[in-house]
Amino acid sequence: MRKAITMMLESDPQIKVVGSASNGEEGIARVKQLKPDLVTMDVEMPRMDGLTALRQIMATNPVPVMMVSSITTDGAKATLAALELGAVDFIPKQMSYVSLDIVKIKEELVAKIKNIVSRKHILMARFRTRSSFSAAGKDSGQPSKPAPPVRTPTRSVIKAKRHHKINIIALGSSTGGPPALQAVIPKLPRNLPVGMLIAQHMPEMFTKSLAERLDGLSQVTVREASDGDAVEPGLVLIAPGGKHMTLRKYGGKARVAVSDKPTDTLYHPCVDVMMNSVAEAYGGSTMGVVLTGMGSNGLEGSRNIKNKGGILIAQDEASCIVYGMPRAIVDAKIADHVTSIDQVASEITSYF
């Protein structure tokens, strides 16, 4: 896997692989010695596992880290733990990566790394702020407090009416999405009067672990969606990795459909596919939320929501791991609110 990633990265003349390590202990030493702009690190390593190595790297020589993880339940749980410890993203490990899939993922991996490295100083500043508050909580014997929001002003691109009737929330995210969701979903109240659908770009196995993790932290109920699930107040449904989630109304009751179709989309799940179906079912009473992610997935669906009279919230540049998907919404001038990830939940609840 190390050789496959090295080959992919070195295919781009702007990227130089400065070193490698065969275990966690060696990795810590190499990071200190070489001071790279970004590290890719396997969750499973001899002598010292990836989580232990990550914890030490982030404590002594903070640097953006992308985890390499097996597509298993244990691998998914370890990856989510790594993201909470400070890793910025992950690469799913598949045996097929040594064959034709390299061609499919190389461009996305290279673009993702360039995006993350270009925002290295912002990401590490946010990590240090978050870590300082966590350490203060431990030193005082009190529970750790969340880091304060980055002081970038919330911008209302189009002045929204807070009495606008909302009957459903459709949220899309990609790179940096799991920690962003963890900054939003646990802040939603137990009595949230509408249901929420989430399309997060992740492989199978990972979305179930993500749902379980968020459910344990939240007042609302969070679970991975199953075909036929009803949309209910206070229920958050996350599209299964590798599948699309759409919405249909049957006799006034909204239910989700989980399937492989359409098959011609770049992402499974696809934010546009989900948002388009929600907009068709709920029209102007739809709220769309677009969080951190690369590319412009979600723009088409957001346009549909806006054209039907719905409300759109986009995460701001300062708090994004990758400012791609939200930027597409902002640049199209269809966002009602552009706000820090720390304020997204309050923007959502201000409509209820």
* Residue range 188-201, pLDDT digits in tens: 999 999 999 999 99
The reply to whether 118 and 187 lie within a common domain is: no
Q: Which pLDDT score is estimated for 96?
A: 43
The reply to whether 56 and 173 lie within a common domain is: no
Question: Counting Cβ atoms within 10 Å, is residue 157 exposed (0-12), middle (13-18) or buried (19+)?
Answer: middle
Q: Is 296 a residue whose pLDDT tops 70?
A: yes
The reply to whether 207 and 108 lie within a common domain is: no
6, 34 in Cβ contact below 8 A? no
Asked if residue 28 belongs to a domain, the reply is yes
The reply to whether 180 and 306 lie within a common domain is: yes
Asked if residue 128 belongs to a domain, the reply is no
**pLDDT class of 104 with cuts at 50, 70, 90:** low
The reply to whether 106 and 213 lie within a common domain is: no
CATH number of the domain within which 304 lies: 3.40.50.180
Domain end call among 68, 87, 122? 122
Mean pLDDT of the chain: 88
Centre a 10 Å sphere on the Cβ of residue 295 and count the other Cβ atoms it contains. Answer: 21
The reply to whether 318 and 180 lie within a common domain is: yes
Q: Which pLDDT score is estimated for 134?
A: 52
The pLDDT tens digits for 136-151 are: 554 544 444 444 444 4
Asked if residue 142 belongs to a domain, the reply is no
The pLDDT tens digits for 201-214 are: 998 889 999 999 99
CATH number of the domain within which 44 lies: 3.40.50.2300
**pLDDT class of 306 with cuts at 50, 70, 90:** very high
Rounded Cα gap, residues 299 and 326, in angstroms: 8
The pLDDT tens digits for 11-39 are: 899 999 999 999 999 999 999 999 999 99
Asked if residue 135 belongs to a domain, the reply is no
- H helix or E strand, kind and range, residue 67: strand 65-70
Rounded Cα gap, residues 65 and 6, in angstroms: 15
Asked if residue 143 belongs to a domain, the reply is no
The reply to whether 213 and 337 lie within a common domain is: yes
Residue 281, both tokens: 């079912």
Q: Which pLDDT score is estimated for 2?
A: 78
Asked if residue 139 belongs to a domain, the reply is no
The reply to whether 103 and 239 lie within a common domain is: no
Alpha helices (H) in 218-324, listed in sequence order: 271-282, 299-307
Structurally, how many domains does the chain consist of? 2
Asked if residue 203 belongs to a domain, the reply is yes
Of 143-157, 249-263, 305-319, the poorest mean pLDDT is in 143-157
Q: Which pLDDT score is estimated for 8?
A: 86
Domain end call among 107, 122, 137? 122
Q: Is 171 a residue whose pLDDT tops 80?
A: yes
Domain end call among 122, 156, 187? 122
The reply to whether 100 and 184 lie within a common domain is: no
Q: Which pLDDT score is estimated for 4?
A: 80
Rounded Cα gap, residues 170 and 199, in angstroms: 8
Range of the domain at 237: 168-349
The reply to whether 198 and 316 lie within a common domain is: yes
**pLDDT class of 1 with cuts at 50, 70, 90:** confident
The reply to whether 205 and 342 lie within a common domain is: yes
Asked if residue 279 belongs to a domain, the reply is yes
The reply to whether 301 and 173 lie within a common domain is: yes
